[in-house]
Amino acid sequence: MDPQKILILDFGGQYNQLIARRVRECSVYCEVKPYDMSIEAIRSFDPIGIIFTGGPNSVYAPGSPQLDPEIFALGLPILGICYGCQLISHSLGGKVTAAQEDSAREYGRTETFFDTSCRLFKGLPEESVTWMSHGDYMARVPEGFALVARSANCPTVGICDENRRFYGVQFHPEVNHTRFGREMLRNFLYEICGAKGGWTMADYKNAAVRAVREKVGDGKVLLALSGGVDSSVAAALLAEAVGSQLTCVFVDHGLMRKDEGDEVEQAFSRWSINFVRVNAGERFLEKLAGVTEPEHKRKIIGQEFIRVFEEEAKKLGAVDYLAQGTIYPDVIESGKGDAAVIKSHHNVGGLPDYVDFKEIIEPLRMLFKDEVRQLGRELGLPEYLVMRQPFPGPGLGIRVIGEVTKEKLDILREADFIFRDEVASAGLTEGMSQYFAALTNMRSVGVMGDGRTYDYAIALRSVTTSDFMTADWTRIPYELLDKISSRIVNQVRGVNRVLYDITSKPPATVEFE
């Protein structure tokens, strides 16, 4: 792995993961750390530059996140974004106040003008659009700083001290709405920090395999394999590193999509690992009998998954390491003490009570989802597994609306397969972030042949998104929807109606339950 690193100090902004992704897209490694990271820890991390993120606070408010002033004496380039920009100004003798007029507050797309002699904006147009989100205003910038970006309402959109390599922008270069934002970040990395680039997933794989081997030695590793992208790539990495010392317990809860259990098992046949598949479908259905409330279903499935895993793990006796498929967004979100919990992460839902282990291994904890997929390819996992559609931990249990039964699961599996098969045949998979079928709890009258039917309605769902925080419904061609509907109604017994969900997120969520 390239030893060059960028340190991102987190002040609680909503786009902080995106900043890290943009840096890594420039082939430079980075990590997000809490804003109160000690100076000693920063020196030990040995970054080539530091980025201060945005945040919801006002820098002048009592109790707002502040910095150790010594950070400005480290001799490192610093880029402040939004709150981070205001913090640079506030910390070095400038003055930040609440905007006195509504016109000085800026939100959304804003026409912005740049001084392209500043290295941050080198090679970019002098006029472009940025994405603003600030109600505070830098009334006075610190001594030694120049004004290098402005808008119609704000003369202090961008500041810089080229001598000390300190830069600040009121807008968010990391979001797609800011034109040339990625180029600005690239300028900071390469023109200002002196990055050489070269951080690749092949390097990461080799370094991660070596690190696992060194840590594990001749010990035993246990992994709960869900069959999802994260746990599958973690399993492949561990298999590459320690081979037969790894035991993967694959709990097939009977709530997977068509043929997926067999596909997962087949994917890992190339490695000499101890692969344990537990077919527990009937057991899960018994627990779910009569349950209709979505969160109750989620908890039953999650708890039962852990119980089955514990039982299998107990048979193995003591293991040295418990592995998990935790990825970087989980780590970042978990690190925020005041963050709201939207949903529990399936892979970190709880530790088994009956597993005796020394330490947890999380080989993917520094990777984003797209990087996990790249790593999967490097490890030789099949494309159908690497590009597996996002699938919730409770599986089809929350895509069957209402009570879950074997009959409903069989119906849904076939309908969902047809939907995914037709989308793939039409070559539209790249433009659809997540797509699936759900079985509604509605039955309606229909006519098939010369007879009356009273069968279920299938709902199709497809969304397009970059971050899953918001999502827009996909404009699937009518001709394709017609073909999908016709196949489902004619080939899946128990269905006489097909619906297409055209609700975006918000107000809806991606999943139905």
Residue whose pair of structure tokens reads 């810089």 in the numeric block: 160
**174 is a catalytic site residue:** yes
Judgement on whether residues 116 and 242 belong to the same structural domain of the protein: no
The verdict on residue 132 lying in a domain is yes
Residue 375: closest CA among 222, 241, 221:
241
pLDDT of residue 101: 54
Residues 159, 61: one domain? yes
State the catalytic residue, choosing from 30, 106, 174, 193: 174
**Tens-place pLDDT, residues 285-301:** 999 999 999 999 999 99
- Per-10-residue mean pLDDT of the chain, 513 residues long, equals 83 84 91 93 96 91 92 97 94 85 60 95 94 79 93 89 96 90 96 91 89 93 89 94 94 93 89 93 96 94 91 86 85 49 39 64 87 92 85 90 96 97 92 93 84 91 81 95 96 96 91 90
Residue 467: its pLDDT value, please? 64
Q: How far apart are CA 21 and CA 29, in angstroms?
A: 10
| Separation CA 55–CA 53 (nearest Å) | 7
Q: Is 82 part of the annotated catalytic residue set?
A: yes
CA angle 230, 232, 236 (to 5 degrees): 120
Same domain, 150 and 26: yes
Of 162, 192, 222, the residue at which a domain comes to its end is 192
> Which of 85, 90, 106, 172 does the annotation list as catalytic?
172
Name the one residue in this structure whose structure tokens are 């627990």.
Answer: 287
Q: Can you give the CATH number for the domain in which 435 is found?
A: 3.30.300.10
Task: Give me the CATH number covering residue 136.
Answer: 3.40.50.880
* CATH number, domain containing residue 259: 3.40.50.620
Same-domain status, 445 and 345: no
pLDDT at 350: 46
CB neighbour class for 83 (10 Å; exposed up to 12, middle 13-18, buried from 19)? buried
Answer positive or negative: Cα dihedral of 395, 400, 402, 408.
Answer: negative
For the chain, the helix, strand and coil percentages under 3-state DSSP, each to the nearest 5: 35, 25, 40
Output the pLDDT for position 327. Answer: 85
In a domain, 117, yes or no: yes
The last residue of a domain, from among 165, 192, 219: 192
pTM exceeding the 0.75 threshold for the entire prediction: no
Question: Are residues 186 and 207 part of one domain?
Answer: no
Sign of CA dihedral 265, 267, 269, 273: negative
Residue 333: per-residue pLDDT: 57
Q: Are 219 and 323 part of one and the same domain?
A: yes
Looking at the fold, whether 13 and 139 belong to one and the same domain comes out as: yes
Q: Answer with the one of 334, 351, 386 that is the final residue of a domain.
A: 386
Tell whether 132 and 267 lie within a shared domain: no
In a domain, 397, yes or no: no
Question: How many structural domains is the chain composed of?
Answer: 3
pLDDT value, residue 339: 33
Question: What's CA 427's distance to the chain center, in Å?
Answer: 25
Same domain, yes or no, for 102 and 143? yes
Answer yes or no: is 245 within a domain.
yes
Residue 445: domain span: 405-500
Residues 66 and 107 in one domain: yes
First to last CA, the chain: 41
Task: Identify whether residues 258 and 345 lie together within a single domain.
Answer: yes
Q: Are residues 300 and 255 in the same domain?
A: yes
Region for residue 124 given its phi and psi (left: phi exceeds 0; alpha: psi -120 to 50; beta: otherwise): beta
Residue 392 lies in a domain: no
Q: Write the pLDDT tens digit of every residue in 216-260.
A: 999 999 998 888 889 999 999 999 999 999 999 999 999 999 999
pLDDT at 236: 94
Instruction: Report if residue 340 sits inside a domain.
Output: yes
Give the orientation angle of helix 369-378 with respect to helix 229-242, to 10 degrees: 40
- Let me know if residue 57 belongs to a domain: yes
User: Does 365 reside within a domain?
Assistant: yes
Catalytic residue among 26, 82, 85, 160: 82
- 263 is a catalytic site residue: no
Going by C-alpha positions, the residue among 169, 121, 163 that lies closest to residue 144 is 163
